[in-house]
Homo-oligomer: A and B are copies of this chain.
Amino acid sequence: MAREGLSTSRIHGSIARTLGVAIVSGQYAPGDILNNEIDSSEQLQVSRSAYREAIRILAAKGLVESRPKTGTRVTERNRWSLLDPEVLAWVFESEPSEEFLKGLYELRMIVEPAAAALAAERRDDGQLERMRKALIQMENRTLATEAGQAADRDFHDTVLEATGNAALFTLSSSIGAAVRWTTIFKQRKRELPRDPMPDHWKVFDAIAAGRPDYAREAMERLVGLALEDTRAAIDPKG
């Protein structure tokens, strides 16, 4: 994931990130109007054009809306592209609410089992091989390492991809981001995470065997257990 810094290393990207975090964390409320471009860019010590490009980024993700005379205002939450990978990163940069985390898992619980079932019917050999390699890597390196976590994401990614559904696959970057951040959460509190491998292998076996129903069930169990672990990490008295 060395690509990360690309957008944030440029001024417009880092300003977008700063403002984006401020917005999703509630520092600005929907309806609030940002200072005008001249004042804002002066405060942030950047040129007006760099600031404007940052605003265009935020507008593209539905966080703000600009019009002459009125200014740039924060839009209603329901217009935000919360599943956009960058927006998701901004959300996780400032301790997301437990409610939001729960919602993310609920989404995974809806999408991933169905995707696993479709993958069982449609996967090709190359995808199967990539899933196997990801799980082996995950087994060798464990979720405590960046490489192991990347392998985990690779596995879930490939399942989505194997559905052959472009719209569904789009969710993989969101789900991948969710997986990543919640894994960090789980690691942060030093709860002993349960061994995730058996559940993963069951999903793999069902997909390999071409059994949609088994794949759905196995994935349901996998996500469900991950949810429990995260819940336990957040609320230790669980």
A-side interface residues toward B, CB under 8 Å?
Answer: 6-7, 12, 49, 52-53, 56-57, 59-61, 65, 67, 77-84, 86, 99-100, 103-104, 106-107, 110-111, 114-115, 118, 161, 163-173
Contacts and interface: CB of A to CB of B under 8 A. Distances in A.
A167 B104 contact: yes
- Interface SS, A side: helix
A84 B171 CA distance: 11
A78 B161 contact: yes
Contact of A167 (B82, B164, B170): B82
A107 to B, nearest CB: 5
Q: Which of A78, A115, A172 has the most CB of B within 10 A?
A: A78
A77 B114 CA distance: 22
Contacts of A60: 56-57, 60-61, 86
Contact of A166 (B103, B114, B169): B103
A224 B78 CA distance: 27
B169 A107 contact: no
Question: Which of A65, A100, A170, A172 lies at the interface centre, i.e. has the most chain B CB atoms within 10 A of its CB?
Answer: A170
A6 B65 contact: yes
Contacts of A81: 81, 84, 170
12 contacts: A6-B67, A56-B56, A57-B60, A78-B161, A80-B170, A81-B81, A83-B83, A100-B167, A103-B164, A107-B167, A107-B168, A110-B110
A100 to B, nearest CB: 6
A106 B170 contact: no
Given A7-B59, A78-B170, A83-B171, 14 more contacts: A12-B56, A49-B49, A53-B53, A57-B57, A60-B60, A60-B61, A60-B86, A83-B167, A84-B84, A103-B164, A103-B167, A106-B167, A110-B111, A110-B115
